[in-house]
Amino acid sequence: MDFETLQLRLLARVRTHVRNGELTERGLARMIGISQPHMHHILKGVRTLSIENADRILRRLDLTVLDLLEGLASPVEVAEVTTIAGIERDEQGDLTSIGAEGWQDTGKFGKPGVQPGLF
């Protein structure tokens, strides 16, 4: 599993939302702070999706990286990734802790704060 695969999964999910009429390119572009033509080019593969914009999409669509893993990896692979990353979900499926040493608990997987003085 690599970042490119996760990025492709995110874009596929967004394209499905647009195709089903749940989102528009313009609406999504406004949500994440880019122009509609730029979003169109990202969705068509003309431009690449930056990490920052991927994070914005994840937050605005209330998704986590774990959501992108669903249906892609075997349960064993997902368990290995979540164990390595220190990710935990509660009974409702909400992310409750990152738990990795040196990271602050943010309640969401995305950009946790690094504790001062560690680096």
Can you give the pTM of this predicted structure?
0.60
* pLDDT tens digits, 21-48: 999 999 999 999 999 999 999 999 999 9
Q: Which CATH class is domain 3-63?
A: mainly alpha
Rounded to the nearest integer, the mean pLDDT of the chain is 74
Check residue 108 and give its pLDDT. 45
pLDDT band at residue 68, thresholds of 50, 70 and 90?
confident
Domain layout of the chain by residue ranges: 3-63, 73-111
Check residue 109 and give its pLDDT. 44
Per-residue pLDDT at 61 exceeds 60: yes
Say if residues 108 and 49 touch (Cβ distance below 8 Å). no
